[in-house]
Amino acid sequence: MSSKTAVIAKLALRNLRRQARRSLLTAASMIAGGALLIFSLILGDGTHEQWIDSAVRMADGHLAVQSVGFQDSRALKDRIPSESRGLVEQALRQGGFPANINDMVPRLAVTGMASSAAGARPARILGVDPVVEAAFSVLDEKVRQGRYLQSGDRLAAFVGIGLLEALDLRLGSKFVLTAQDAGGEIAGQLVRVVGTFRTGIPEVDRSLLHIPLSTAGAWLGCSGDVTSIGLLLGNSEQVPQTRSSLRQRLSQHPGSEELQVLSWRESLPELDAAVKIDDFSNYLFQGILFGIIALGIVNTVLMSVMYRRREFGVLQALGLTPGQSASLVLVEGLFLTVLSGTIGIALGLSVTWFLWGEGLDLSSMMNNEWTFSGVVMEPVVVPRFRVARMVQGLSFIFLIGMLASLYPALRALRIDVAETMKFER
Amino acid sequence: MVGNPALRTEAVWKVFHQEAEEVRAVRGVTLTIQPGEFVVLAGPSGSGKTTLLNLIGGLTRPTDGRVWVDGLELTRMGSRELARMRLEKLGFIFQSYNLLPVLSALENAEFPLLLRGMERDQRERRVRELFQRTGLAGLEHRRPGKLSGGQQQRVAVIRAVVGEPALVLADEPTANLDSAASDILLTVMEELNRDLGTTFIFATHDSRLMERSRRLIHLVDGQIVSDQWQESRREQ
């Protein structure tokens, strides 16, 4: 550090201490702002992660390997044949299973009809491997009656409560599934209700049902084939890197050009939009809040400059350049904002950690289950602590400090030394 | 080989424009001051004393004419060069002392050396010696607010001379002091002038200071009307 830089830093700190009350008042607003900023960021991240986790478990995971075209057609013709499925599984296991992939589920999805003596209803039929699906999906935790599918089940169906009621079925009742098979023919399959679930999402409860993957394959004439292979990661942050590494691995195998790796943002565009809108409204709120705080900082630093005009004149008479005088103001503003902002962030983190580290319980505000975009809102929001958010928060505060000090610094830069000395007369 | 004069001005003008009015604060002043002089610029209010000091100090730019300090021409310098010149060649003493309130007496006094990047030991040795010389020993760690006016002004004098500048510019240094404090201050400055060879230029109304100067320059309406060498009363 040069001698002048050291002098500027020393003067800046002493000047802040000199106007202790004014500095503390401004710092208090920045501390509150910093705490609120980090609180809302980590709580927002926790909420979003919960939405994503809930949605990807109901859907195709954080990442889904599908045949090109399936995302749009949702038709059995765009399925992954068993050879390609083997290729994907081989690519994933090659050189060790990536550590951040927690679960991998093959699924055979088809849209068809579920019929009983009471009538027929459209149904979204998922052929699943009961063992891996139970670890992947949350459906097995939503059992209302009976049980989830088990290994060895053949003609079993796990049915949404809405569909069960619409078809006037009970546990043990038989009903018929009808859908277009791999050959384009209409095929039927008799199944028996072994359990029912209730997610709280009406459209899911009214249409979804799980049957064993082997049963679905045999029924639809495509044993061993799947429509998607879902991957559940540790968290949504790992998606871009894992997707890129998976694409890299797949590209080394012939036939991989028929496959695509979709992230949850592509397979669940409504959720992606909801997260972005929520982030935007959060940023907007923070922007307005920090705009107000910045005005307070401008006022404090500007008052300090106006009050000390002659001092700036003296400093320049003693050998500081106008630019160095201005940098003194910038440093004061930055010290004030960055120090108090850092304290605020630390305070926000500590309070959130100690009070709501295990989760912020909002159940008293949620009378009934709350769903949107196919996501069930959990009543307990668990904050998500990420270093990146702290760095973002500090950078934002640094930027605010810099911007808020800019105008007062310009005023200091333009001080006419001879003019300031006239006040002595 | 003859060294540079401490100060040389050549036909320096300073014209201010106040609304429609043109104020000629300094009118064609040509002046040379040699190293070691103890000079007083005297004259009534509005005679241009302070403006001339500001021009010499590079705090304001002349409308016309040229100024050299220790052989360096100020009129061609940019703001960075002027700042460096002020740091290395000039010392300032102001009427209101203008010590930095957030620094102790010692820190104020060593400020120019600090800006020059001088080592702490060397800095403190030089400043403490001057504190001793000027009767301020023991007050090094007091803030300006805890010093009397006379003491503050002596700290300002130390700050002005500590870097051994070519020229010390003092604008009404005794105006806020009582007679006793003024006398002490003037004695200190005379001794520094005599012992260290520091060149002083004062702008003042103070008759005591005029009497103790060795060169008295009278300004009226921005022009030099007399430039007299005299034996100071103390020397008499």
Task: Give pLDDT tens digits for A137-187.
Answer: 888 888 999 999 998 899 999 999 999 999 999 999 999 999 999 888 999
Q: Which two tokens stand for residue A307?
A: 């009050």
Q: Which residues of A touch B57 (CB under 8 A)?
A: 317
Is the predicted pLDDT of residue B233 greater than 60, yes or no?
Answer: no
Say yes or no for a CB contact (<8 Å) between B54 and A315.
Answer: no
Q: Which two tokens stand for residue B127?
A: 């400043």
Is the predicted pLDDT of residue A357 greater than 80, yes or no?
Answer: no
**pLDDT tens digit sequence for A99-125:** 677 788 899 999 999 999 989 999 999
* A314 CB within 8 Å of a chain B CB: yes
Q: Which residues contact B160 (CB under 8 A, 6 or more apart)?
A: B91, B92, B93, B168, B170
More confident residue, A327 or A135: A327
Closest chain A residue to B46, measured at CA: A425
- Residue in B54, B102, B115 nearest the CB of A14: B102
Closest chain B residue to A420, measured at CA: B59
Closest chain B residue to A317, measured at CA: B86
**What percent of chain A has pLDDT above 70?**
95
| For residues A341-349, average pLDDT | 92
- Residue in B51, B83, B96 nearest the CB of A319: B83
Task: Work out the burial of residue B231: count CB atoms within 10 Å of its CB; fewer than 13 is exposed, 13-18 middle, 19 or more buried.
Answer: exposed
Per-residue pLDDT, A225 = 92
CB–CB of A239/A264 below 8 Å? Answer: yes
| For residues B172-188, average pLDDT | 87
Range of lowest pLDDT (A360-374, B87-101, B179-193, B196-210)? A360-374
Number of H helices, E strands in chain B: 8, 10
Say yes or no for a CB contact (<8 Å) between B50 and A421.
Answer: yes
Q: Which two tokens stand for residue B206?
A: 């103070």
Q: CA-CA distance, A7 to B111, in Å (whole number)?
A: 9
Per-residue pLDDT, B226 = 93
Best of B53, B59, B177 to disrupt the A interface by mutation (most A CBs within 10 Å)? B59
Say yes or no for a CB contact (<8 Å) between A3 and B80.
Answer: no
- Give per-residue burial for A336-345: e unless 16+ CB within 10 Å, then b: bbbbbbbbbb
CA angle A178, A183, A185 (to 5 degrees): 40
Per-residue pLDDT, B2 = 62
Say yes or no for a CB contact (<8 Å) between B59 and A318.
Answer: no
Strands B21-33 and B200-204: unpaired
**pLDDT tens digit sequence for A387-401:** 888 898 889 888 988
Supply φ then ψ for residue A173, to 5 degrees: -65, 150
* A174 CB within 8 Å of a chain B CB: no
Q: Mean pLDDT over all residues of chain B?
A: 90
Closest chain A residue to B57, measured at CA: A317
Which element (helix H / strand E) includes B62? Answer: none
* A424 CB within 8 Å of a chain B CB: yes
| For residues B88-104, average pLDDT | 92
Q: Is B46 left (phi over 0), alpha (psi -120 to 50) or beta?
A: left
From A328's Cα to the closest Cα of chain B, the distance in A is: 14
Q: Which two tokens stand for residue B34?
A: 């040699």
What percent helix, strand, coil does chain A show, rounded to 5? 60, 20, 20
Say yes or no for a CB contact (<8 Å) between B159 and A321.
Answer: no
* A9 CB within 8 Å of a chain B CB: no
Taking the CA atoms of residue A105, residue A110, residue A116 and residue A122 in that order, the dihedral angle to the nearest 10 degrees is 120
ipTM of predicted assembly, 2 dp: 0.90
Q: Which residues contact A58 (CB under 8 A, 6 or more apart)?
A: A137, A138, A139, A199, A201, A204, A374, A375
From B81's Cα to the closest Cα of chain A, the distance in A is: 9
Q: Which residues of A touch B101 (CB under 8 A)?
A: 18, 311
Q: Mean pLDDT over all residues of chain A?
A: 87
Is the predicted pLDDT of residue B236 greater than 70, yes or no?
Answer: no
Per-residue pLDDT, A388 = 87
Is the predicted pLDDT of residue B1 greater than 50, yes or no?
Answer: no
Is the predicted pLDDT of residue B60 greater than 50, yes or no?
Answer: yes
**What percent of chain A has pLDDT above 90?**
34
Q: How confident is the model at residue B234 (pLDDT cuts 50, 70, 90)?
A: low
Q: Collapse the DSSP code of A411 into the 3-class scheme (helix H, G, I; strand E, B; otherwise coil) and give the result.
A: helix
Instruction: Please give the DSSP secondary-structure letter assigned to residue A226.
Output: B
- The structure's pTM equals 0.73
Per-residue pLDDT, A425 = 44
Q: CA-CA distance, A425 to A374, in Å (whole number)?
A: 76
Per-residue pLDDT, A249 = 81
Say yes or no for a CB contact (<8 Å) between A319 and B57.
Answer: no
Q: Is A329 left (phi over 0), alpha (psi -120 to 50) or beta?
A: alpha
Per-residue pLDDT, A1 = 62
**pLDDT tens digit sequence for A252-304:** 777 777 888 999 999 888 889 988 998 899 889 988 988 888 888 888 888 88
- Give per-residue burial for A175-187: e unless 16+ CB within 10 Å, then b: bebbbbbbeeeee
Q: Which residues of A touch B60 (CB under 8 A)?
A: 416-418
Closest chain B residue to A421, measured at CA: B94
Q: Which residues of A touch B113 (CB under 8 A)?
A: none
**pLDDT tens digit sequence for A206-237:** 999 999 999 999 999 999 999 999 998 888 88
| For residues A8-16, average pLDDT | 90
| For residues B13-21, average pLDDT | 88
**What percent of chain B has pLDDT above 90?**
68
Say yes or no for a CB contact (<8 Å) between A424 and B80.
Answer: no
Which element (helix H / strand E) includes A67? Answer: strand A63-67
Q: Which residues of A touch B49 (CB under 8 A)?
A: none
Say yes or no for a CB contact (<8 Å) between B54 and A316.
Answer: no
